[in-house]
Structure 1
Amino acid sequence: MRFDLDEQQRDFASSIDRALGAADVPTAVRAWSTGDTGPGRKVWSTLTDLGVTALMVPEEYDGIGAHPVDLVVAAERLGYFGVPGPVTESVAVAPILLATDERAGGLASGELIATVAFPPHVPRAVDADTAGLILVAGDGEVRDGVAGDVHESVDPARRVVDVDASGDARPADTARAFEFGALATAAQLVGAGQAMLDMSVEYAKQRTQFGRLIGSYQAIKHTLADVYIAVEMARPLVYGAALSLADDSPDTARDVSAATAAAADAALLSARSSLQAHGAIGYTQEHDLSLLLLRVQALRSAWGDATWHRRRVLEALSSSSLEALSS
């Protein structure tokens, strides 16, 4: 099967690129790491103007009610630029949990940024100390949450916070919301992997060693080619998982987990290879590559780690095999 974006989706991705390219996102990420969310909220305001925050909000609450592929298009670009804040939680998960809640309108308008705790895989909520709405979800129910202790993350721009559920439980499609969380995270990992690859290719074209551009060395060429292949192999799996979600396929869990595991592996390979290409300078706080290196490390386990997702794929395949043998 061939996965290809239509013209409108490509234009949407290009509009996000133009807006975020002019927004100085790295400065916003560094400010967010120090607790100054002002520049980051300006970036979020830009996303609202583009319709990103309204993508998954139902139309009755002034949202777009978009296709999951549209979400993947946006999430990949947000991952490419490393947008700070609870991107997955507010853009992808909260709209599903608030599908019948009028507060979803606040997500669409950008007035509200939400975060979500989803035990056991998401025991703490990202940036719950600054989010306008905290949700605690699981077992078909969702409750509002209250922020507790703040913990450091491997990524300074992602504070993880203990939350306690409060108020009455409300029914919600938590199973579907979790899949959207994993899908949006996978898309961001693909975007981050692509961004680091692009940075490394450009660096290899400029950096000289022993009188030669490092990009002329076979070792660098082969390493970056491996990253390119890994990212290009992961991307269609992410889009395929989005189609499974759109169709309510019985294979949705398998497809989402396959995409997430592949995206996590591709992003990790890109991170390691980019650091190898850049050398020690790539890990310094002053270099923008370091922001993506840390983001990837945090996202790889944000909505279930690769080991858990691989196990879920294996269980789904084993179950299908048993069914085939018994029929």
Structure 2
Amino acid sequence: MRFALDSSHTDFADSIDSLLAKSDLPAVIRSWNAGDTAPGLKVWQRLAETGVNGLIIDEAHDGLGADAIDLVVAVEQLGRHAVPGPVAETIAVAPVLLAGAAPDRLSALAEGALATVAAPPRVPFAVDANAVELTLLVQDGSVSTATVGEQHGSVDQARKLFSVTAAETLGDADTERAFDMGALATAAQLLGLGRTMLEISTEYAKQRKQFGKAIGSQQSIKHHLANVAIGLEMARPLLHGAALSVRDGSADARRDISAAKVACGDAAYRASRIALQVHGAIGYTQEHDLSLWLTKTRALLTAWGTPSVHRARVMEAL
């Protein structure tokens, strides 16, 4: 089977990329880090106008009724620009949960409302519950709204983690599918983050000079960056393959999602390590934009299933 994105996918990705490129995301992220979510929420509203928030919501509830391929194409762009907020939760997880438990709430999501989800023990905390309109809690296959409690720290300052307790019970939903969609969306974010860190590092290597020569002219630097590029390109088919499995209702969809999550996570983590080595210590300082991508990558590695959880799922399937 040969798979390639068609023009509708690439055009959609380009439109999201163009929108976010004009939004000064580093400044938006730093504001979000400091507790000022207003600039970030404006970005989310513009995304909602393009249909991103309602991608997998049925047209009957004001969504686009798109499939998992459109989802990963869009979310990869959000990862490339390190968009703050509950990306996977709003776009991929909450729509699945609400479709089963409270479909009357789907229109609000499609129109731009943000949602976050806790699903202990695999997802113990709700991300950015202070900035969303709807917080959901999954317990024993049942979905309820949640009351926000204590805040917890994260390596990524743009990810505020909150303990939550059940409030109003909404009903039952396909919670395993919701978890899988969260993992798929997180994998797409990680691939996007990795791509940007490679671009930032490559550009820096062309400009940074030592002993009168750009450090990018050194073979060792070239080899490291080439390995990052190979890892990202090898992960992409697994991500797209997982999206195809979801779209087609394959019995192997869960295995394919886990394989994609592991591969994209490994590739993004390698990109972050090499980016830091290329930049030196300056890359990890809060003043440098690279730090925003580094910390988000580290946080998302364990979001919606740790690498060990997903490796175990692949092994079980095999």
Shorter chain as normaliser: what TM range?
A: over 0.9
What SS class does the counterpart of residue 148 from structure 1 fall into? Answer: strand
Matches of 1:121 and 1:197, distance apart in 2: 30
Q: Is the 8 A contact 2:62 2:110 kept in 1?
A: yes
Q: Is the 8 A contact 1:90 1:113 kept in 2?
A: yes
Q: Number of residues paired by the alignment?
A: 316
1:21 corresponds to which residue?
21
2:87 corresponds to which residue?
87
Query: 1:268-313 CA distances to partner (integer Å, 9 max, x unpaired)?
Result: 0000000111111111111110000000010000111111111110
Matches of 1:176 and 1:147, distance apart in 2: 24
Q: Output the aligned Cα RMSD.
A: 0.9
Query: 1:234-266 CA distances to partner (integer Å, 9 max, x unpaired)?
Result: 111011111111112111111000000011100
What SS class does the counterpart of residue 165 from structure 1 fall into? Answer: strand
Read off the aligned partner of 1:148 and give its amino acid letter: G
Matches of 2:218 and 2:46, distance apart in 1: 41
Read off the aligned partner of 2:275 and give its amino acid letter: S
Moved more, 163-172 or 264-273: 163-172
After TM superposition, give the deviation of residue 3 of structure 1 in Å.
2.5
1:4 corresponds to which residue?
4
Q: Output aligned runs, 1:225-304, within 5 Å.
A: 225-304=226-305
After TM superposition, give the deviation of residue 56 of structure 1 in Å.
1.2
1:188 corresponds to which residue?
189
Are 2:107 and 1:105 equivalent residues in the alignment?
Answer: yes
After TM superposition, give the deviation of residue 49 of structure 1 in Å.
1.6
After TM superposition, give the deviation of residue 169 of structure 1 in Å.
4.5
After TM superposition, give the deviation of residue 2 of structure 1 in Å.
2.7
After TM superposition, give the deviation of residue 168 of structure 1 in Å.
2.2
2:148 corresponds to which residue?
147
After TM superposition, give the deviation of residue 204 of structure 1 in Å.
0.9
After TM superposition, give the deviation of residue 152 of structure 1 in Å.
1.1
Read off the aligned partner of 2:215 and give its amino acid letter: I
Q: Is the 8 A contact 1:86 1:126 kept in 2?
A: yes
Distance 1:138 1:68, change over 3 A: farther
What SS class does the counterpart of residue 14 from structure 2 fall into? Answer: helix
Q: Is the 8 A contact 1:117 1:123 kept in 2?
A: yes
Matches of 2:155 and 2:262, distance apart in 1: 20
* TM-score of the pair, normalised by structure 1: 0.95
Identical columns (%): 56
2:306 corresponds to which residue?
305
Matches of 2:317 and 2:2, distance apart in 1: 23
2:135 corresponds to which residue?
134
Read off the aligned partner of 1:170 and give its amino acid letter: G
Unpaired runs of 5+ residues, structure 1, are 318-327
Are 2:230 and 1:222 equivalent residues in the alignment?
Answer: no
Query: 1:188-207 CA distances to partner (integer Å, 9 max, x unpaired)?
Result: 00000000001111111111
Matches of 2:64 and 2:174, distance apart in 1: 19
Matches of 2:13 and 2:172, distance apart in 1: 34
* TM-score of the pair, normalised by structure 2: 0.98
Read off the aligned partner of 1:98 and give its amino acid letter: L
What SS class does the counterpart of residue 147 from structure 1 fall into? Answer: strand
Q: Is the 8 A contact 1:129 1:150 kept in 2?
A: no
Q: Is the 8 A contact 2:142 2:169 kept in 1?
A: no
Q: Output aligned runs, 1:118-133, within 5 Å.
A: 118-133=119-134
After TM superposition, give the deviation of residue 140 of structure 1 in Å.
2.7
After TM superposition, give the deviation of residue 138 of structure 1 in Å.
4.1
Matches of 2:169 and 2:261, distance apart in 1: 32
Read off the aligned partner of 1:145 and give its amino acid letter: A
Q: Is the 8 A contact 1:117 1:125 kept in 2?
A: yes
